[in-house]
Amino acid sequence: MNTNNIKSKSNLCQTLRYALALNGNFYENARNTHKNRKLALNIVILGAVSHAIGSGVILLINRATVFVFLISLLINAIAIIIGYYFWTFTIWKIGQWLKPIDPTYNDLLIPIGFAYAPQILNFLTLIPLLGRPIELILAVWSLLAVIVAVRQGLDITTRRAAFICLIGWPLIQIAIGFVQVLEQDVVKWTN
């Protein structure tokens, strides 16, 4: 393994540790650089893959066909990634409305991408009887991380940051729940 791979794995682990700890200074110092943009997107993609794995195992237990299984994996992963961009967009627009001098949409993608770090643990939702509670805990943890990221990124109070983030969050949760219910219905329909 070359030193660049070791450094990038070290940076990813360190970034995940700070993001999971809701470290305000970490989010404040998330600069809009190519390296951080790539790192934030990698965290979102890892969260999407983790979510797809958790849902995929449940589909396998329910004996989904190979076609349904593969399509579901793809839809789950894409739903998380689209949710990331949509939530960032709603935060940016509402933040722009509340505070005229603010960062650009691209500036918010990095700290909000880092705030998706709890979603990397989404594969744990495959634990019987604990899947849904774990999913809710991870969703709230991500919400808290995004609130910290927005508070630091927009330089506003925690109350305002929570208001801004809570507008898009329920929509994301409803969309993810809808995808899961749809998957279950398709599995029942195809069996």
Residue type, 62: N
Q: Which pLDDT value is given to residue 100?
A: 66
Q: Which amino acid is at 186?
A: V
pLDDT of residue 6: 45
The pLDDT value given to residue 3 = 46
Where are the domains positioned within the chain? 30-190
> What pTM was computed for the model?
0.82
Confidence at residue 48, expressed as pLDDT on a 0 to 100 scale: 92
pLDDT at 102: 67
Q: Which regions of the chain are under pLDDT 70? A: 1-10, 31-33, 100-102, 187, 191
